[in-house]
């Protein structure tokens, strides 16, 4: 189109007569027209390229809108998953606490049964005199476990027994050497 227009101008200028452009001017005009035609072709190619890029961008924009919906859906799915996890954790805690409570109850029953058994077995029974004690020592009494700070004299006075009977019944060689936790037979003790 540009080529036709420029060529028309050149031919019109030549037809106007002698005072028109010289052959040198016409050559220059032809070169200018060729340059313009080349530039128009380049611009046409660039315009086509820009139209393709524009179409690609529109397609990407359309796909981007679909991606936003996917992101929204993903956020909703994550929220659902978090809710499911919270529910599962709460159920697991409840179940674990129930199991612990059951085990504690079972252990408490076993402990109570063991304590009752010990209490029945530990009922005070009259103790008998150990073998080898003196003949004049009473034959019945009780067992006593030595506590911190106890002396034979205090134990005898507190339990209503004679100190010598305790020494004889337990075959104590040194009355000042009784030990905390030692079990003594207290003849006639109460």
Reported as a single tens digit per residue, the pLDDT across 69-124 is 678 888 888 999 999 999 999 999 999 999 999 999 999 999 888 888 777 765 45
Contact in structure between 183 and 152 (CB atoms under 8 Å) = no
Percent share of the chain, pLDDT over 70: 76
Task: Go through the chain and tell me how many residues it has.
Answer: 190
Q: Check residue 118 and give its pLDDT.
A: 79
Burial class of 188 by CB neighbour count within 10 A (0 to 12, 13 to 18, 19+): middle
Residue 76, by phi and psi: left (phi above 0), alpha (psi -120 to 50) or beta? alpha
Q: Considering only residues 146 and 128, tell me which one the structure prediction assigns the higher pLDDT.
A: 146
Check pLDDT > 50 for residue 153.
Answer: yes
Q: Considering only residues 127 and 41, tell me which one the structure prediction assigns the higher pLDDT.
A: 41
Give the separation between CA 27 and CA 31, rounded to whole angstroms.
6
Locate 18 and state its tokens. 């002698």
Q: Check residue 21 and give its pLDDT.
A: 66
Q: Considering only residues 168 and 11, tell me which one the structure prediction assigns the higher pLDDT.
A: 168
């Amino acid at each position: 189109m540009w080529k036709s227009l420029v060529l028309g101008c050149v031919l019109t200028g030549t037809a106007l007569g002698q005072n028109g452009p010289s052959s040198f001017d016409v050559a220059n005009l032809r070169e200018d027209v060729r340059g313009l035609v080349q530039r128009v072709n380049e611009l046409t190619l660039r315009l086509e390229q820009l139209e393709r890029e524009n179409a690609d961008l529109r397609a990407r924009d359309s796909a981007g809108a679909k991606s936003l919906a996917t992101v929204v859906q993903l956020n909703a799915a994550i929220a659902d998953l978090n809710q499911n996890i919270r529910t599962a954790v709460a159920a697991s805690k409840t179940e674990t606490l129930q199991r612990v409570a059951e085990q504690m109850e079972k252990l408490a029953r076993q402990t109570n049964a063991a304590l009752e058994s010990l209490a029945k077995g530990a009922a005070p029974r009259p103790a008998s005199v150990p073998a080898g004690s003196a003949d004049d020592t009473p034959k019945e009494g009780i067992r006593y476990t030595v506590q911190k700070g106890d002396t034979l004299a205090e134990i005898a006075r507190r339990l209503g027994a004679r100190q010598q009977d305790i020494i004889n019944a337990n075959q104590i060689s040194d009355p000042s050497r009784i030990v905390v936790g030692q079990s003594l037979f207290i003849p006639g003790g109460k």
